Amino acid sequence: MGINILGMGSYVPGQKLTNNDFTRFIETNDEWIRTRTGIVERPMAGWEPTWYMGLKAAEKAVQRAGIDPKEIGLVISTTATADFHTPSMASIIQDKLGAANAGAFDLNAACTGFVYALDTARRFVETGDEKYVLVVANESLSRFLDFTDRGSCILFGDGAAAAVIEKSSKLYSSALGSDGSGGKLLCARALNVAPEVRTEAPDDFTDEFPDMPLHKLFQNGKEVYKFATCALPRSFELAAQKIGITKDDIDWFVPHQANIRIIETAAKKLGAPMEKFIVTLDHYGNTSSASIPLALNEAIEKGTIKRGQKLALIGFGAGLTFGGIILEY
Ligand code: UT7
């Protein structure tokens, strides 16, 4: 039992940072960023709250799905960059959208968030409990980037994308995974802990990385890179083996958009041609959980991805998490 993606929408803020913009405040250059990551520019939210971008994307998705917001039974918002610890982004979006009959909650699986949320949404429609579920991926990574760390701040962008799904009998398989032992490799502290008790806290990540900035994204790029190049192919293979299909059955791979070299290495490991991989990181950067649905929506809007084609959505991210969904569009 699978899902039908009834409608999708996306929203990115109008402001952006080009590679050259970074040369004004850190030691970097356009060539390094292009060749090491594939990124050229990335949208920046500025004044726009995370939920606002999510709402804009959700409005488009609902309009394209051709349904009334009151028919939505559940709103799941994926974010690692919520405007509030509480209320959830999902509750704010549910209200502003007029989804008066929907439940709402946020889901945080970092950059793998959309894969986790779509798979969660699938279970709600599959049981028949809800007819339509709205998944909204919205992220403002720029709000917690350490703009003095040239190894991480150049990677990320802000944006949102949303999908309305319903139950269907189309092809579907999924696999979700996590290796929490890698949590400290990509993290940002939420609540403040007094410096004098910080080192006494069990498993406090600052034991290992004393320079980790409070409330800013900290990343060990090399280790995350290694994890990512294994996690992407693994996410596909775990989902594929459940339904006995191979990479040759897939029309389009839609991977998490973190670094072009990660995607190229994953393609090689899978033995699939790069031409089958949707790439949007050059103009969006890494938008965390919004990256896969932004890429998916753009490819649908351009007519690259067509109805009836088989897709593999494969992601990885902080947690460390990973996950894949194989579905027919
Ligand atoms: O959603 C998941 C998010 N995270 C990721 O996916 C990150 C995965 N990791 C990566 O994408 C890569 O590891 C990075 C892009 C972060 C770094 O690329 P790298 O090829 O692993 O570079 P590196 O860390 O080995 O650094 C090579 C050199 C270093 O200089 P030295 O020590 O060789 O003199 C860095 O200091 O490049 C330097 N460097 C930079 N130079 C110019 C690091 N960042 C920059 C920069 N501009 N922005």
Helix locations, the chain, DSSP H: 19-22, 30-37, 50-65, 89-97, 113-126, 195-198, 221-243, 260-270, 281-284, 291-302
Pocket perturbation via mutation, ligand 1, pick of 114, 184, 218, 225 by most ligand atoms within 8 A of CB: 225
Report the topology of domain 2-169: Peroxisomal Thiolase; Chain A, domain 1 (3.40.47)
* Residue 133: Cβ within 10 Å count: 27
Predicted local confidence at residue 244, as pLDDT? 96
Q: How far is the CA of 155 from the centre of ligand 1 (A)?
A: 10
Look at residue 204 in the predicted model and tell me its pLDDT.
63
Alpha-carbon radius of gyration of the chain = 19
pLDDT the model gives residue 216? 87
Same fold, 2-169 and 174-182+214-328: yes
Whether the model clears a pTM of 0.85, i.e. scores above it, the answer is yes
Ligand 1 atom nearest to 156, measured from its CA: 3
Q: Which CATH superfamily is domain 174-182+214-328 in?
A: Thiolase/Chalcone synthase (3.40.47.10)
Token pair for residue 223? Answer: 């280790």
Query: Does position 312 have pLDDT exceeding 90, yes or no?
Result: yes
pLDDT in tens, 86-132: 999 999 999 999 999 999 999 999 999 999 999 999 999 999 999 99
Q: Which of 81, 222, 291, 322 to mutate to test the pocket of ligand 1 (most atoms within 8 A of CB)?
A: 222
Give the start-to-end residue ranges of the domains of the chain: 2-169, 174-182+214-328
Atom of ligand 1 nearest to the CA of 152: 16
- pLDDT recorded at residue 190: 82
pLDDT score for 195? 65
pLDDT at 307 over 80: yes
- Cβ 176 under 6 angstroms from ligand 1: no
pLDDT digits (tens, 9 = 90+) for 146-202: 999 999 999 999 999 999 999 999 999 999 999 999 998 999 888 766 666 666 666
Proportion of the chain above pLDDT 90, given as a percent: 89
